[in-house]
Amino acid sequence: MALIETYHDESLLEGFGLFINKNLSSEVIVFDKIDFNEKYDFILLCQSFINLYNHTRGILPIDTNILVETDTYFRIDEDLRFFREIEYLKNNHPVPKVEEKYEKVYNLYKSVTSSFFQKFEEDGFLPFTLNSDYTGSMNPFEILAETEMKNKINQMYAQSQKNYRRRSFLICIKKRI
C-alpha cells in the first residue's frame, strides 16, 4: 500500500530523487536517508560524497590516497558533477517550478553536509577542492545541463523561424489569390 501511495503522491513532492514512505523506510539499509516530511524520507544517493563527509568530518583538504584505498569513494567525481549540474539548474532553469525542485534537492544535501558543502559551493564543486593535486576523472568545467538547455533553445528558435517562414509564405500565397 505504501508504494501505491508514493506513486500517487509523486507529483506533489517538492524536489526530485528517491522518496520512501516512512512505513517502508526501515527496509532501506544501504543508503542514508533524511526526514523529508511527515510521510516520506528522502534517500541520499550521492553515497561517495556522504561517505567522504562522514570519514573526514567535513574537513578539507583530504589525503587523496583515501580515494583509492577502497571503493567507498569511487563515485566522488560523479557526485561532484551532480552537484555542479543541480547548482546550475537551480540558478538557470527557465521554469520556476523546475528551478525550485533543483533548489530543494540542493538544500537537502547542503543541510546534511553543511561545512563540507559550503566549501564545495564556494569553489564550484570542483575536484580541486578535495585536494589541490586532485583533478578528478571528468571535465569539471563541462556542465551538461547548460549544453542541453542551449541546444533546446536553439531548437526552439529554429522551429519558430521555420514556422515564421511558413506563415509568411502562406500570407504571400493568399495575397496572390
Share of the chain above pLDDT 90, in %: 62
* Residue bearing the bigger pLDDT, 16 or 4: 16
C-alpha cell at 145: 545541463
Q: What is the pLDDT of residue 15?
A: 87
pLDDT at 121: 94
Q: For residue 164, what pLDDT is reported?
A: 67
Of the pLDDT bands very low, low, confident and very high (cuts 50, 70, 90), residue 33 is very high
Q: Is the pLDDT of residue 177 over 70?
A: no
Q: Which of these, 102, 75, 74, lies nearest to 86 by C-alpha position?
A: 102
pLDDT at 3 over 80: no
In angstroms, the CA 30 to CA 111 distance is 20
pLDDT average, residue stretch 85-106? 94
Residue 71 pLDDT exceeds 80: yes
pTM to 2 decimal places: 0.81
pLDDT beyond 80 at 7:
no
**Residue 109, pLDDT above cutoff 80:** yes
Confidence of residue 90 (pLDDT cuts 50, 70, 90): very high
The 3-class SS string of the chain reads CHHHHHHHHHHHCCCCCEEEECCCHHHCCCCEEEECCCCEEEEECCHHHHHHHHHHCCCCCCCCCHHHHCCCCCCHHHHHHHHHHHHHHHHHCCCHHHHHHHHHHHHHHHHHCHHHHHHHHHHCCCHHHCCCCCCCCCCCCCCHHHHHHHHHHHHHHHHHHHHHHHHHHHHHHHHHC
pLDDT tens track for 121-159 = 999 999 999 999 999 999 999 999 988 888 877 777 777
